[in-house]
Each structure stands twice: as structure tokens, then as C-alpha cells.
Amino acid sequence: MLKLRLRQAAPVALVAMLLLTLSACGLTEYPNTTFHHNTEFNSAVDALFDRLVFWGTIVFVVVEVALVVTIIKFRKRPGGPAAKPIHGNAALEITWTVIPALILVLIAIPTVKTIFETQAEAPAGAIKVEVIGHQWWWEFRYPELGVVTANELYLPVGRTAAFELKTKDVLHSFWIPQMGGKRDLITNKTNHLWFTPSADLPSSAWNGFCAEYCGSSHANMKFRLYTVQPDEFESWARHQASPAVFSATPAPATPVIPAAQVTVADSAASVAAPTAGYAFPKDRLEAEFPHVIPQTPIPAGITFDDALLAGGDPVKGATEGFLLGGCIGCHAISGVPGAVSEIGPNLTHLASRHTIAGGLYRNDAPTLARWIKNARHLKPGSIMNTIGKGEYDPILKTTNTMGLDDRQIADVVAYLMALK
Ligand code: CUA
């Protein structure tokens, strides 16, 4: 009775498993899957994968059928003859050596061909992007366009992007699963990678990752890619290449930053919104690409008086905060004299980005304030100094007695949030 039930149940279980497996193939549910044909790179890798699965399936079926048939046909029967040991069967041994060798050749040829194709020089007319890995964030430079940005990469659809992959410190690996890669960033070496986002793609947002263990915040070293229409890209790049624009009111007597770059208002600072270039619309991210929006909660144990943010003074933030508070030691802002350091992310158009801290947090005033106050509390191992006065520095294991208070940090946040 039990035997019969098992026999009936087996096919049902098999069909159920197959259906479950097939249902897992819905691509929309898995926004970070690599099985897409968004680029020629992914198409080539997918074709190779299909071929490997095809041959692997044939081998599996043949081997398993032979195994099951053998087990049943030659099983020990009561009263049957004793098994006879045999030694050597030249025909059989040659067959089971030649067949796997042929299968390996069938796999090796397309594999090596794909490796050479994807390692070849990028086609002419590709847009050049330098990718520089840092512990733990991404720097993106477009040398032909004069753009330097961090953690958010923009590419026009229909045009090949040729990446030069470098690292400032340890090994990292650049990977946007839906576009292709991954490829390592190797110390003292430049690696290359190229792919072309399909011209048919609507403007879209994708996740990028560091795929090589690189220290305590390896898992926090993410980035975003926005594949946008050529005119949107052009608008974005033109704006990103321009110096920081801040305020439109006339300069007072003694500006700390020359008036040509930053025009400082006399009392209540007014920050005019500059003519912004294209940035991927936030509402579209929320509606269509929720998987690219950081969900990391702020760790417990950090407080900030958010009420101060509404009254942040961007002028004081620029002068007393950014310049005198020490930010200038690590961060560049194009157009601000002296702000040229490349240690931390370039902040020229920080407010046009949707994320901060290597894609770990959303870029909004409350988060930015806490980040400035105690970055190392928010991201293990961060080299960004603990700026908040009275904050405990988890790396130095001391309390910062100098630093900026919440009021001053609110001013810096007001300044940075004005850098559209
Ligand atoms: Cu960079 Cu892992």
C-alpha cells in the first residue's frame, strides 16, 4: 500500500518541483539577475550559459539513466548467480574518455571565444569612463566630458561605454549584474571592460556592487547606474561638468570664498536654485525602481536635532563648516578654490545624487547630517573623520572634543544640499 502511494506521489512531486523551478525564472521579481539581454555582454554570457546548461543536462540525463538502469537490471536477486569481477574493457574506457573530451571541447570553444570577445578593445566612439575603487565607495570620471562624480553612474543608451578600472587601495570588483561584468579592480593595474546598454531601453536605474571582498564595509560598497536617453545624458553631463553654483545674491565686503565662485549673501542667505541639468527623477525611482533605493536604517545611538535643519545657513555652512571645519581636507568642490582633494567623494553636485556613502543611505538632509556627525558609526571602517563635537569615534576610540555642533552641521548640510 505504502509502495503504491510513493509511486503515485513521485510524479506529482516531480511536476511540482519543475513548476516551482520554472516560476522562479520570472525576471521582474529578481531585479539583480544577470539573465538579461540589456547589453551585448550579457547576451554573450547568457548564450554561453545556455549552452553549458544544455550539455550539462544531456550528460546528467545519460549518466542518471545508465545508473538507474544498471541498479535495477543488475541488482542482486535471491538465488541468483554470484557477481563476477572483471578487469579491463578497452572499448568502454576509450569511449568514456573520448566522449567527455569532446564535450569539454564543445564547451571550451565558445567559452574562450566569449572571453576574447569581451576582453577585446572597445569599439570606436565609445564613451570613456574611469572607474576608481576606494574603500568603500566608487569614483566615476568621464575624462572627455570633464565630469567627476561618485557612486552614481550615468550612461546613454545605445552607446558603448568603455570602462578603465583602477583602484586607489585594495582589490575591488565592478559589477552591474543586469549590464555585464564583473571585472576586478587591481592595484597598480588598469583593467578594461565595455558594454553597450541596448538602445531600446527606456531610462532605467540599476544596482551595482563591489564583488570582491575588500574589507569591513565591502558589503556597503554599492553604486547605481542610470541608463538614460542621449539627450538626458547630454544635459546631465553638461551640468555635472559645470562648477558648483551657489547663491545668486550680491557679494558682501569680505567673502571667504571669492565671489566669482561662491556669492555670499549678507544676512539671511538665499540660495538660488541653479539651472539644474538632468538627474534621474526621484519619483520614477520610487514608482518603478524601488530596489535601487537604499533601505539601510540609521543605526541606534546617534542623535541629531532635526529641527535645526530647517534653519541651516548655507553661507555659514560653506565658510565656517566646509572651509574651516575641515571638509576641504578630503573633498573637492569644483569652483571652490582649494577644494581639490581626491581623498573623499567629489561633492560638486552632491544634491543631484540620490544616495550617499557608497550607495548605503538615501541622500536627504537628516541622513547627511548624521553622516557628517559620525560617519564611522553609520558605516564600519569609514575613513571619513568623526566631525560631530562630543561624538565617540569608533575607530580612534576617543571622543571628539573639537568638531562641529548640530547647529554648525545643519549649516553644512544646507550648503551641500544647495549643490544641485
Ligand atoms: Cu570594494 Cu568589495
Q: What is the CA(179)–ligand 1 centre distance, in A? A: 18
Q: Predicted confidence band at 106 (pLDDT cuts at 50, 70, 90)?
A: confident
The three cell numbers of residue 12 are 506529482
Cβ(157) – ligand 1 distance below 6 Å:
no
Q: Predicted confidence band at 187 (pLDDT cuts at 50, 70, 90)?
A: very high
Q: Residue 357 region, left (φ>0) first, then alpha (ψ -120 to 50), else beta?
A: left
The SS3 assignment for 419 reads coil
How long is the chain?
420
Cβ(184) – ligand 1 distance below 6 Å:
no
Q: What is the CA(26)–ligand 1 centre distance, in A? A: 29
Atom index in ligand 1 nearest the CA of residue 221 equals 1
Cβ(409) – ligand 1 distance below 6 Å:
no
Cβ(372) – ligand 1 distance below 6 Å:
no
Cβ(412) – ligand 1 distance below 6 Å:
no
The pLDDT tens digits of the residues spanning 347-405 come to 999 999 999 999 999 999 999 999 999 999 999 999 999 999 999 998 999 999 888 99
Atom index in ligand 1 nearest the CA of residue 215 equals 2
337/54 Cα distance (integer angstroms): 60
Q: Judge whether residue 26 has pLDDT over 60.
A: no
- Sequence-ordered list of residues with C-beta below 8 angstroms from that of 348, at least 6 positions apart, any chain: 148, 149, 240, 243, 244, 332, 333, 334, 335, 419
Atom index in ligand 1 nearest the CA of residue 218 equals 2
Q: Predicted confidence band at 22 (pLDDT cuts at 50, 70, 90)?
A: low
Cβ(133) – ligand 1 distance below 6 Å:
yes
pTM, entire model: 0.81
Average pLDDT, the chain: 87
Per-residue model confidence (pLDDT) at position 60: 95
**More confidently predicted of 260 and 245:** 245
Q: What is the CA(210)–ligand 1 centre distance, in A? A: 4
Per-residue model confidence (pLDDT) at position 153: 97
Q: Predicted confidence band at 323 (pLDDT cuts at 50, 70, 90)?
A: confident
Cβ(214) – ligand 1 distance below 6 Å:
yes
Residue 136, preceding peptide bond in cis (omega within 30° of 0): yes
Q: Whose CA is nearest to atom 1 of ligand 1?
A: 172
Q: Predicted confidence band at 256 (pLDDT cuts at 50, 70, 90)?
A: very low
The three cell numbers of residue 206 are 540599476
Cβ(221) – ligand 1 distance below 6 Å:
yes
**More confidently predicted of 169 and 264:** 169
Cβ(218) – ligand 1 distance below 6 Å:
yes
The share of the chain scoring above pLDDT 70, in percent, equals 87
- Alpha helices by DSSP H, 227-312: 230-240, 282-288
Q: Judge whether residue 7 has pLDDT over 80.
A: no
Per-residue model confidence (pLDDT) at position 121: 82
Q: Judge whether residue 8 has pLDDT over 70.
A: no
